[in-house]
Structure 1
Amino acid sequence: MTETTVRALGATAGPSRIVLGVCGGIAAYKSAILARLLISAGHDVRIVPTDSALQMVGRTTFSALSSHPVHTSVFDDPEGVEHVRIGDEADLLIVAPATANTVAKLAHGIADNLLTATALVATCPILVVPAMHTQMWLNPATQANVQTLRDRGVFVLDPAEGRLTGSDSGIGRLPEPEQIAQTALGMLCEQDLAGTRFVISAGGTREPIDPVRFLGNRSTGRFGIALALNAAQRGARVDLVACNIDRALLPNHPRIAVHPVGSAEQLQEAMNSCASGASVLIMTAAVADFRPAHSGESKFKKDGSGAAPDITLVENPDILKGLASDRSHGALVVGFAAETGDEHGSVLDYGKKKAKVKGADLLIVNRVGETVGFGDVDTAITILDRDGNVLGEGEGTKSQMAGTVLDAISLSLGSLD
């Protein structure tokens, strides 16, 4: 996510007072970048480090970034009762990085510095982003403390996996500042989807030809991921059925559960399994129309004759049409139509035909091609009802268009109440 996207998220949320707590982990330098992103988004950021954090990043840096004095102890400004004032005025409290020590203090109500005292006073949403060595994160004590915080309604982001201190590598790395900023700003958004559950498919299916090769497509899953993140930020619980999505792209959000799948048949099984009790089903995944009737147990090899292997294809199930025709789940069904257009009709012409055939409540039509639609590029969409009538359209980043789609879904849910 770029700084421009962060600014856009901040603009929709409006100016807020954010307290950024920083603990004494090696990742404390990333908190300076995080503070800058939040300030660039238009928010007032007050940085409250621990004494150990100031061993990593200097007080002057934090003060210059935030334009506020930086204190670590409740005795720094006793007449102002600073921990009460800061905590009481905050719209959001972020602790990033959060060490195992501070996670334990937050879980058990220990208030031995300005940050932990402020956390006890705060009644606003709290986002805790742990960063520590792998063994410390996996220790049962830390896991129990994290679960305690989550049970109290605190948002705890799981740490990322990657390079730690020295030559060590594993889970425990602080997520990138852009990801933390996106999650934090999403917590300030209007929670118009609270109490709903979304099931969203994303990515592209792969149909195995042999253990090495497959039939696939160009979908990266970015639009589906943007929908999942936006829905979660607006209060929904999300089951993301991820088809062959790069692990680095998968979202890290407390309200998103990821279900990896590979083929169209696996996708169909996962969508049907998750559909029960869902409010909204969204099919953004690009599903292969056909699959090999049989997959080779070993790699096909050239024999020098120039003859290609004989691969018989069979039709895959129409997952969207199946979800739309079976209304036992009671969910709003939303489909995606990636179209190219040709001499016989435009993208919209084909989209309108597909809307009538599929039977989904909403169909999102977007133009795709070798250089359009797939990957980290802008996109243009048209929103149709089941009869092919145009309900809306938009053009912009996938995150922006995800917001447009969710606005239409929110209106549709409201009309069903």
Structure 2
Amino acid sequence: MAHLLLIVSGSVAAYKALELVRLARRAGHAVTPILTAGGARFVTKEAMAGISGARVHDDLWAAEAEIGHIRLARAPDLVVAAPASADLLAKMAAGLADDLATTVLLATRAPVLVAPAMNPAMWAHPATVANMKTLAARGVAVVGPEDGPMAEPESGPGRLAEPATILAAIQGLLASGPLSGRHVVVTSGPTQEAIDPVRYIANRSSGRQGHAIAAALAALGARVTLVSGPVAVPDPAGVTVVRIESARDMLAAVEAALPADAAVFAAAVADFRPADVGTQKIKKVPGAPPPGITLTLNPDILATIAQRQVQRPALVVGFAAETENVVPHAQDKRRRKGCDWIVANDVSGDVMGGVENTVHLVTEAGVEDWPRLPKDEVARRLAARIAESLD
């Protein structure tokens, strides 16, 4: 079906690359492996050659003499780095080319998917966070990492996504569909606005609807950048995920992801944040009244993007979570914000955190009332409408 170039870098999880190759070949894909020096310490060339049925490449100079790194870079339909170590991600972000893998990554014109794997502290390090933002802005797709036990006696985010999950991401990136070649930015989940180092203002958004929309768009062939607040739902396969906390972080991440053909703002962004954030935990003082919190306005992400003069997406879709007068409020919001569509829903019941939703699609042409549906089905219907609009 497709030709994959698989780069295996140094990680204890590299053994999972063998299972990924087996699954990819069973799905009909051809796999050409590249081992970095670190990857070769965990997976042998003989094992990888036996599973892939292909020559394993590991030497820049040997490749230059026999088939050339440029030919390797040009041949695949998709380049996959799994596992992608912190070192490899840093080299990709910096544009280094000091071995065969990084040279191919710099020379390829094919889409690139990375599956990070590293210690949780390394994944959370500001350098890695910055590198991932850089790669996301360049259109590199990401799957994982997952949260779980590591090889060392620690647990947390940094675990390599399972081979089946990586294959699903590969299939999503290779899929042809009505949104192939389109880039869509989606926001999801809540934002958290710090009061002090241990407390914050937030809301009950689970992120299920926004994540479902991102998955539905990817299933139609779109390249999706999902900007997500803190959520417990898993990342959609085949989607580039940028994790943020505050509204200001979310706006910066959305702007960094532009240009895009469409943007869907499904996140429940806090309208306000504390004007002053305590540097220490605010203590309760016996006999004293509770401390006051002065709030200030957060940036209006939807209006900011909808009213841009440069790099405004062709279709800007907002969400309106209302508890009364749902449709009139949504119609007013669409006019005030300058967006093209508003997806309005009544959140007075069990929608926040629930698995179903009842929405009204408000456009310039009028209002469509959709029945109560599972959030996945709402996402599929909205994705289909977006594809129709962009066609």
Instruction: State the TM-score, normalized to the length of structure 2.
Output: 0.61
Aligned to 2:149: 163
Aligned to 2:386: 409
Q: What whole-Å deviation, never above 9, does each CA across 1:136-166 have from its counterpart, x for those lacking one?
A: 3344444454444445443455633321122
Report the residue type matching 1:409 in the other structure: I
Q: In structure 1, what is the Cα distance between the partners aligned to 2:155 and 2:187?
A: 33
Is residue 275 of structure 1 aligned with residue 275 of structure 2?
Answer: no
* Bigger Cα displacement from structure 2, 111-120 vs 19-28: 111-120
Counterpart mapping for 1:311-326 below 5 A: 316-319=323-326, 322-326=329-333
Identify if the C-alpha distance between structure 1 residues 33 and 283 changes in structure 2 by more than 3 Å, giving closer, same or farther.
Answer: farther
Report the residue type matching 2:330 in the other structure: L
Contact kept, 8 Å, 2:32 with 2:54, in 1: the verdict is yes
Report the residue type matching 1:52 in the other structure: G
Is residue 235 of structure 1 aligned with residue 223 of structure 2?
Answer: yes
Aligned to 2:88: 102
Is residue 31 of structure 1 aligned with residue 3 of structure 2?
Answer: no
Q: In structure 2, what is the Cα distance between the partners aligned to 1:221 and 1:149?
A: 23
Instruction: Name structure 2 gaps, 5 residues minimum.
Output: 191-203, 248-266, 272-298, 307-314, 347-357
Report the residue type matching 1:103 in the other structure: L
Contact kept, 8 Å, 1:129 with 1:156, in 2: the verdict is yes
Contact kept, 8 Å, 2:186 with 2:224, in 1: the verdict is yes
Q: What whole-Å deviation, never above 9, does each CA across 1:224-275 have from its counterpart, x for those lacking one?
A: 5232223356135555688xx6x143548435667799xxxx95866x9443
Contact kept, 8 Å, 1:88 with 1:123, in 2: the verdict is yes
Report the residue type matching 1:180 in the other structure: I
Aligned to 1:327: 334
Q: Provide the secondary structure at the position in 1 that maps to 2:87.
A: helix
Contact kept, 8 Å, 2:136 with 2:242, in 1: the verdict is no
Report the residue type matching 1:333 in the other structure: I
Identify if the C-alpha distance between structure 1 residues 197 and 321 changes in structure 2 by more than 3 Å, giving closer, same or farther.
Answer: farther
Identify if the C-alpha distance between structure 1 residues 159 and 363 changes in structure 2 by more than 3 Å, giving closer, same or farther.
Answer: same
Q: In structure 1, what is the Cα distance between the partners aligned to 2:327 and 2:128?
A: 42
Aligned to 1:249: 234
Q: In structure 1, what is the Cα distance between the partners aligned to 2:112 and 2:105?
A: 8
Aligned to 1:19: 5
Counterpart mapping for 1:284-323 below 5 A: 316-319=323-326, 322-323=329-330
Instruction: State the TM-score, normalized to the length of structure 1.
Output: 0.58
Report the residue type matching 2:90 in the other structure: A
Contact kept, 8 Å, 1:200 with 1:281, in 2: the verdict is no
Identify if the C-alpha distance between structure 1 residues 24 and 259 changes in structure 2 by more than 3 Å, giving closer, same or farther.
Answer: closer
Q: What whole-Å deviation, never above 9, does each CA across 1:161-203 have from its counterpart, x for those lacking one?
A: 321122112332223333333333333345458355555679x
Contact kept, 8 Å, 1:201 with 1:283, in 2: the verdict is no
Q: In structure 1, what is the Cα distance between the partners aligned to 2:120 and 2:187?
A: 31
Aligned to 2:292: none
Aligned to 2:281: none
Q: CA RMSD in A?
A: 4.3
Post-superposition offset of 1:48? 1.3
Q: What whole-Å deviation, never above 9, does each CA across 1:333-358 have from its counterpart, x for those lacking one?
A: 34679xxxxxxxxxxxxx99x889xx
Q: Provide the secondary structure at the position in 1 that maps to 2:43.
A: coil
**Equivalent of 1:93, from 68, 73, 79?**
79
Post-superposition offset of 1:18? 1.5
Is residue 115 of structure 1 aligned with residue 122 of structure 2?
Answer: no
Contact kept, 8 Å, 1:110 with 1:116, in 2: the verdict is yes
Identify if the C-alpha distance between structure 1 residues 116 and 330 changes in structure 2 by more than 3 Å, giving closer, same or farther.
Answer: closer
Q: In structure 2, what is the Cα distance between the partners aligned to 1:136 and 1:257?
A: 15
* Bigger Cα displacement from structure 2, 140-149 vs 18-27: 140-149
Contact kept, 8 Å, 2:184 with 2:222, in 1: the verdict is no
Report the residue type matching 2:334 in the other structure: R
Post-superposition offset of 1:280? 4.6
Aligned to 1:294: none
Percent of aligned pairs with the same amino acid = 28
Aligned to 1:365: 371
Structure having the higher Rg: 1
Post-superposition offset of 1:22? 0.6
Identify if the C-alpha distance between structure 1 residues 193 and 410 changes in structure 2 by more than 3 Å, giving closer, same or farther.
Answer: farther
Q: Provide the secondary structure at the position in 1 that maps to 2:371.
A: strand
Q: Provide the secondary structure at the position in 1 that maps to 2:60.
A: coil
